[in-house]
């Protein structure tokens, strides 16, 4: 069978060049332009990488037009409904779902690895009380690289999986430490008797010493419905192919740096409000709008080309129909409305924005639909999680994706140092 290719004609000199088209198992095929510069003396120009595939990957598939997202071939809707976050982590790392024994062993291993080295405590103390937990989180993950310097042998699967399990297990503890430090309350180590997600909720909510706060009705417990909601949020964030922060992780991996340093860089990239930081900005924006009556004025601002105001939680580079993660969360939000007491003023404002934007020509013609961040904030607020912890929660969920992508990069014989070129327009 004839191989697919694409031929370019350079109309400056009439030369033609043929480039192979590499087939994808799903989604667009890619043109292999690796010799473009050598052949033509030209660089490919694509700021923002809107048409660039930076690697071959078998982890996550997105069809932006259909609103489809799959991890290792399994639709996100199935994972969110029928599987836990830990099963999803196992799937991403091992290319298949675990059986009952494997899941139990994986869960136990993560519980054992969740504590933080005592030597790390003083690092948190160095940050001012009002430090954003994302700053502390990124620094603490960098510090982790100096506590665990081994596990870089890519021929030893057990070793690099241990490295991966450790960072997945410790991330909720680091995030909880960062948060508790920002409040000036003593940090608590994880409880080995609690599941991944329940442990995290306990570590951020518990009274010093590990007991839950005493509420008006006695001990406040963590409800099963809360664990389920947060676990689903972790699953929905677990991976998202070559997004901005994952690209940063892969680029840092390409220089040979320690995997935890690559992840710390991913955390920094995720913090921005065009990316993961949007979940915090959504709630801040809803609070700023203040009431349903003010929504129209803000929609007007979002549409004004001379105003840089954007509706946070709307739009996506890849999804041009709907964000399937947002749909799962919207369904979850409706299901849990009563149980989580979601009938808040903020939710009314959000519902009004959603209704207008979904019918307004400005948003419809630009394919600007609510993304995952639009819904996470509402649910996390109902779980009594403060705004500055929304993006750290994204980090906890995404850690498995970053580390799986790091491993895939290291195992790929075509990986090279990431070193793009430029179109020079200076003097
Ligand atoms: N509100 C108002 N207008 C918007 C919005 C928005 N949220 N998003 C895009 N637009 C407009 C732009 O002004 C532009 O209009 P124009 O064609 O008239 O100039 C058009 O839609 C295309 O926008 P781009 O910025 O070119 O789209 P891009 O794909 O580069 O950006 C992004 C995607 C960053 C997500 C953008 O939609 C945005 O800033 N959204 C708000 C922040 C947000 O929710 N981020 C979370 C993304 S999901 C995630 O990372 C987990």
Q: Is the CB of 327 under 6 A from ligand 1?
A: no
For residue 369, give both structure tokens: 């639909």
316 CA to centre of ligand 1 in angstroms = 6
- Out of 316, 334, 360, 427, the active site residue is 316
CA separation for the pair 377, 380 (Å, rounded): 5
Residue 20 Cα to ligand 1 midpoint, Å, equals 33
Token pair for 348: 């009314």
Please report the pLDDT score of residue 219 as a whole number. Answer: 58
CB of 319 shorter than 6 A to ligand 1: no
373 is catalytic: yes
Ligand 1 neighbour 314 (Cβ under 6 A): yes
Q: What is the pLDDT of residues 190-203, one digit of tens each?
A: 999 999 999 999 99
Model-level pTM? 0.94
| pLDDT tens, per residue, the chain with 427 residues | 678 999 999 999 999 999 999 999 999 999 999 999 999 999 999 999 999 999 999 999 999 999 999 999 999 999 999 999 999 999 999 999 999 999 999 999 999 999 999 999 889 999 998 899 999 999 999 999 999 987 578 899 999 999 999 999 999 999 999 999 998 899 999 999 999 999 999 999 998 878 876 665 555 678 899 999 999 999 999 999 999 999 999 999 999 999 999 999 999 999 998 999 889 899 999 999 999 999 999 999 999 999 999 999 999 999 988 899 999 999 888 888 788 777 678 888 999 999 998 899 999 999 999 999 899 988 898 888 999 999 999 999 999 999 999 999 999 999 999 999 999 999 9
Give the per-residue pLDDT at 44: 97
β-strand pairing of 15-22 with 30-31:
antiparallel
Q: How far is the CA of 163 from the centre of ligand 1 (A)?
A: 36
Q: Among this protein's residues, is 316 annotated catalytic? A: yes
Unique residue bearing structure tokens 């690559």: 262
The pLDDT, as a whole number, for residue 334 is 82
pLDDT at 299: 94
Q: Which atom of ligand 1 is nearest to the CA of 237?
A: 51
Residue whose Cα lies nearest atom 47 of ligand 1: it is 275
340 alpha carbon – ligand 1 mean position (Å) = 30
Nearest CA to ligand 1 atom 49: 275
Strand order in the sheet with 30-31: 5-10, 15-22, 30-31
Q: Whose CA is nearest to atom 36 of ligand 1?
A: 315
Residue in 237, 238, 301, 315 to alter for ligand 1 test, most ligand atoms within 8 A of Cβ? 315
Q: Dig out the tokens for 374 from the structure.
A: 């639009």
From the CA of 319, how far away is ligand 1's center (Å)? Answer: 11
């Amino acid at each position: 069978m004839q191989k697919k290719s694409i031929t370019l004609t350079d109309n400056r000199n009439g030369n033609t060049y043929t480039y192979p088209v590499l087939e994808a198992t799903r989604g667009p095929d890619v043109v292999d332009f690796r010799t473009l510069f050598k052949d033509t003396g030209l660089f490919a120009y694509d700021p923002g990488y809107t048409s660039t595939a930076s690697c071959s990957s078998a982890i996550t598939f997105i069809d932006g037009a259909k609103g489809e997202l799959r991890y290792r071939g399994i639709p996100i809707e199935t994972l969110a409904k029928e599987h836990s976050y830990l099963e999803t982590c196992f799937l991403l790392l091992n290319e298949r779902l675990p059986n009952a024994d494997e899941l139990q062993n994986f869960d136990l291993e993560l519980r054992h690895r969740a504590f933080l080295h005592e030597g790390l405590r003083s690092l948190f103390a160095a940050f001012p009380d009002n430090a954003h937990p994302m700053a502390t989180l990124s620094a603490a993950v960098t510090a982790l690289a100096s506590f665990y310097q081994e596990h870089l042998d890519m021929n030893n699967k057990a070793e690099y999986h241990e490295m991966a399990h450790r960072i997945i297990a410790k991330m909720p503890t680091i995030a909880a430490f960062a948060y508790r430090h920002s409040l000036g309350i003593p940090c608590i180590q994880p409880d080995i008797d609690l599941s991944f997600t329940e442990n995290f909720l306990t570590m951020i909510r518990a009274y010093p010493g590990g007991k839950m706060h005493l509420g008006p009705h006695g001990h406040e417990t963590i409800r099963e419905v809360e664990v389920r909601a947060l676990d689903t949020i972790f699953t929905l964030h677990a991976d998202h192919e070559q997004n901005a922060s994952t690209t940063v992780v892969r680029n840092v991996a390409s220089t040979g740096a320690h995997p935890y340093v690559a992840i710390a860089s991913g955390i920094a990239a995720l913090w921005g409000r065009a990316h993961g930081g949007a979940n915090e900005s959504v709630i801040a924006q809803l609070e700023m709008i203040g009431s349903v009556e003010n929504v129209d004025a803000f929609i007007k601002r979002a549409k004004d080309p001379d105003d840089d105001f954007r509706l946070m939680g709307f739009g996506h580079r890849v999804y041009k129909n709907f964000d399937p993660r947002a749909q799962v969360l919207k369904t979850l939000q409706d299901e849990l409305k009563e149980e989580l007491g979601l009938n808040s003023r903020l939710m009314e404002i959000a519902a009004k924005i959603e209704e207008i934007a979904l019918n307004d020509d400005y948003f419809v013609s630009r394919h600007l639909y609510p993304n995952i961040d639009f819904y996470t904030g509402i649910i996390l607020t109902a779980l009594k999680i403060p705004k500055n912890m929304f993006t750290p929660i994204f980090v906890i969920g995404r850690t498995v994706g970053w580390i799986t992508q790091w491993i895939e990069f290291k195992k790929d014989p075509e990986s090279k140092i990431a070193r793009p070129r430029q179109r020079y327009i200076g003097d």
